Structure 1
Amino acid sequence: MAVIPAAGATGTTAWLDALRRRCGADVHAFVTERVREHFTGRAAEAPAVTALPEFVTGGKFLRPMFAYTGWRCGGPESAAALRAAASLELLHCFALIQDDVMDGSARRRGHPAMHVRFARWHESQGLAGSAQRFGESAAVLMGDLFLVWSGQLLHESGLDAGALARGRAVYDRMRSELAVGQLGDLVNDARALPSWADVLDVIRRKSGDYTVRRPLEFGAALAGCADDVLAALGTYGGLLGEAFQFRDDLLGVFGDPAVTGKPAGDDLRERKASSVVVLAADLASPRQRAELTGLLALDAVDAAAVARWRDLITATGARDQLEKLIDERVRRALEAIDLVDLPGPATAALTVLARRCTERVR
């Protein structure tokens, strides 16, 4: 992978790391206070009281960092703007919980997923009914709380009404695109082998724009940035968002569970129509395509099938090709922000964030 210029990486990295810690502290304190406000301590509420504050720890806080960097493209350092940016982490927590329920994922960030945690509590209490169903239902409700609290944290951030009004349209669009993109992801089953164009459409709406472009535009809109800045950030965000998801898809197949927090090859077991799977099918020879079809038809994907599928993807050249697509999009994204006059700290942060989003191990 091409080396992305560090652009004063030491100072910028320290600044971003400080942002992450401050966002984490703000979000954890806010969720802890909401838990105290809404839960009365009854036995049935015990899992939520511990699970909700714990769930907001350990994230990368990419979306808040992009949002705050967007703010810094036109605004000064601001604790209120940072709290507004941090609200996107609660939106992300909502999305993660929903995603794990829909995918049936057992782990998140190295720990049991929210629905698994509630199902285990149901079993431990000897309650009647399906523990799995209870866990999924309770997790959906926890996700709903995070969604509501995201809006609450934004509106109580301390930003003035004018700034909040400027950011509202982007905030609403980001949430709507997330839901529509998730629906597209449900439809895009690998066994149907959707087209590359369909996969890119889902990537842009469900993950790429939601992770990079919209948070950047949200922060810049809050700050009242000029149209040319918003356009450049949109181009940068669209390209880097795709690169981010390409990397995530590669990690979903080849990633180390100790780093990703999810079982190795989880995307293959779930038959996700990810970019690397669809690209492999497009690049496969007739013999390789036939073997891929056989793997897709398996009732269950065991460890041996995962290993064979990985080898096959590599053999088609899809892994190397996706690395090239990542490099190409990062290069074009950085070129886009070079075309406008941004504050130096913001440019440096966007450069470092491009590296963080697309590095080989996350």
Structure 2
Amino acid sequence: MSAHEGARETAHEGAHEGARDIDADVSAAVQRTLEEILHGRMEEARAIDPTFAGDIAARVARFTLRGGKRIRSRFLWWGLRACAGGADPGQLDAALRLAAGLELIQTCALVHDDVMDGSPLRRGRDAVHVELQNQYGPCLQRAQPFGVAAAILAGDLALSWADDVVAATGLDPVQAPRVRGLWQAMRAEMVAGQYLDLQAQATGARSMIRSVRTAALKSALYSVERPLAFGAALAGADEATTRALCSAGRCAGIAFQLRDDLFGAFGEPGETGKPSGDDIRDGKGTYLLAVATARAETAADHDVLALLDRCVGRPDLDDGDVQRVREAFVTTGARGIVEDKIRRLVRQANRHLAAGVLVPHADQRLHELFCRVAGLPVADETAALHIPWTESGSR
């Protein structure tokens, strides 16, 4: 064996060991990458202006570093591993950097989402726009809320940083166009889904078809399907394997959004980190609301229809009316129908995975992740897999 071949073999073995280390705790590996990237971004921000750095850049960095279950990062990583990726050091670095980019684009999405919904809390803390408004308090002179305008800039900065990270990531020349094409598509899809969500709130739309379409664009694609596709692209997976992963991701991603809709209606602040009944007060055009409306119309239940018309979309709705809407979601059968749909979607996702030629260990991790994002007991859906869960890591 030549010296060059020996060095290549050593690097190959080192990459395998590095991949196994990341396998043990994907979130920690992504956190370290984010810390390194954001340290550099903070230095750049301080060089531009210390006030900007302290008020905006530092908030973006803190928000990104302190929150979330790193769901998107995990799907990217296990998509890579399921396609036998992780044997090349450059591939490992690219995967972690792309995962960091996904976490930053998630920061953008959440900061802007809270502004659009007027949500005061995120992850049990003041939302970014509330923090900024409170920071300057009585000294504010403008009629337009300062915190809202500043938070929009914070979200824009997070998106800019995400694009910068991806642009600077070293990619295999063969895979680079595929990865960059996925990134471009994902950004547009995320904006489209958010707009459809806003438009449904504004118009009072309650279409089941439209709500599922919104769920696919707003959450399923950028939370699950696209991260899996990034992993497959980095691994150089073939078309059939990529298609199996993406189909599985689409189903699991919609289940993820439907579970989030249930949390938005029935969740309590201690578990969601947001005020109780937020989606009801905001008038979110969720699948849950669409099913409840359709069921009440079919049953000619005018009392329920009147209740939904009177209460949904009212920011000043009191807790008693929120509870009455929740009860309507139960009595119409809507909650049960959504729960059943979530379970069916996860089973369908698992069937799609079985259609691909995937690495068994990573395949099993994906089965478990599907259950977790859908809010289903892992043992109930993957009892035969016997998967130990060792990763650490809220949305």
Of 359, 362, 368, 1:343 maps to 359
CA deviations over 1:147-187 (Å, ceiling 9, x no partner) = 11112222334433433322111111111011111111111
Q: Which residue of 2 aligns with 1:122?
A: 136
Structure 2 residues not aligned, in runs of 5+: 1-20, 378-393
Q: Which moved more, 1:45-54 or 1:102-111?
A: 45-54
- Residue 52 (structure 1) aligned with residue 60 (structure 2): yes
Q: Give the 3 Å change call, closer, same or farther, for CA 224–193 of structure 1 in structure 2.
A: same
Name the TM-score, length of structure 2 as normaliser: 0.82
Q: Give the 3 Å change call, closer, same or farther, for CA 90–44 of structure 1 in structure 2.
A: closer
Q: Which residue of 2 aligns with 1:324?
A: 340
Of 95, 98, 101, 1:84 maps to 98
Alpha-carbon distance, 1:229 to partner: 0.6
- Residue 305 (structure 1) aligned with residue 317 (structure 2): no
Of 262, 265, 270, 1:258 maps to 270
Q: Which residue of 2 aligns with 1:359?
A: 375
- Residue 222 (structure 1) aligned with residue 234 (structure 2): yes
- Alpha carbons 2:101, 2:163 under 8 Å: kept: yes
Q: Give the 3 Å change call, closer, same or farther, for CA 42–339 of structure 1 in structure 2.
A: closer
Q: Which residue of 1 aligns with 2:77?
A: 68
Q: Which residue of 2 aligns with 1:187?
A: 199
Q: Give the 3 Å change call, closer, same or farther, for CA 79–322 of structure 1 in structure 2.
A: same
Q: Which residue of 2 aligns with 1:235?
A: 247
Q: Which residue of 1 aligns with 2:111?
A: 97
Q: Which moved more, 1:159-168 or 1:98-107?
A: 159-168
Question: 1:34 is aligned with what amino acid?
Answer: R
Q: Give the 3 Å change call, closer, same or farther, for CA 297–227 of structure 1 in structure 2.
A: closer
- Alpha carbons 2:216, 2:250 under 8 Å: kept: yes
Question: 1:334 is aligned with what amino acid?
Answer: N
- Alpha carbons 1:253, 1:264 under 8 Å: kept: yes
Q: Give the 3 Å change call, closer, same or farther, for CA 158–168 of structure 1 in structure 2.
A: closer
Number of matched residues?
347
Alpha-carbon distance, 1:128 to partner: 2.3
Q: Which moved more, 1:257-266 or 1:181-190?
A: 181-190
Question: 2:113 is aligned with what amino acid?
Answer: D
State how far apart, in whole Å, the 2-side matches of 1:339 and 1:49 are: 44
Q: Give the 3 Å change call, closer, same or farther, for CA 254–299 of structure 1 in structure 2.
A: closer
State how far apart, in whole Å, the 1-side matches of 2:358 and 2:211 are: 33
State how far apart, in whole Å, the 2-side matches of 1:257 and 1:360 are: 20
- Alpha carbons 2:281, 2:314 under 8 Å: kept: no
CA deviations over 1:219-240 (Å, ceiling 9, x no partner) = 2112211000111012101111
Alignment of 1:282-293 (within 5 A): 282-284=294-296, 285=299, 286=301, 287-293=303-309
Q: Give the 3 Å change call, closer, same or farther, for CA 49–332 of structure 1 in structure 2.
A: closer
Q: Which residue of 2 aligns with 1:154?
A: 166
State how far apart, in whole Å, the 1-side matches of 2:159 and 2:316 are: 34
Paired-residue identity, %: 35
Alignment of 1:139-218 (within 5 A): 139-189=151-201, 192-218=204-230
Question: 2:33 is aligned with what amino acid?
Answer: D
Question: 1:279 is aligned with what amino acid?
Answer: V
- Alpha carbons 1:191, 1:296 under 8 Å: kept: no
- Alpha carbons 1:190, 1:296 under 8 Å: kept: no
Alpha-carbon distance, 1:15 to partner: 6.3
Of 28, 33, 38, 1:31 maps to 38
State how far apart, in whole Å, the 1-side matches of 2:57 and 2:182 are: 32
Q: Give the 3 Å change call, closer, same or farther, for CA 212–129 of structure 1 in structure 2.
A: same
Question: 1:349 is aligned with what amino acid?
Answer: R
Moved over 4 A (4+): 14-17
- Alpha carbons 2:263, 2:272 under 8 Å: kept: yes
Name the TM-score, length of structure 1 as normaliser: 0.89
Question: 1:283 is aligned with what amino acid?
Answer: R
CA deviations over 1:320-355 (Å, ceiling 9, x no partner) = 111100000100110111112101122012111111
SS of structure 2 residue aligned to 1:272: coil
Alpha-carbon distance, 1:190 to partner: 7.7
Q: Which residue of 2 aligns with 1:272?
A: 284
State how far apart, in whole Å, the 2-side matches of 1:360 and 1:338 are: 19
User: Is the radius of gyration larger for structure 1 or structure 2?
Assistant: 2
Q: Give the 3 Å change call, closer, same or farther, for CA 95–49 of structure 1 in structure 2.
A: closer
Of 297, 303, 314, 2:330 maps to 314
State how far apart, in whole Å, the 1-side matches of 2:213 and 2:345 are: 16
- Residue 42 (structure 1) aligned with residue 55 (structure 2): no
State how far apart, in whole Å, the 2-side matches of 1:151 and 1:100 are: 22
Alpha-carbon distance, 1:299 to partner: 6.7
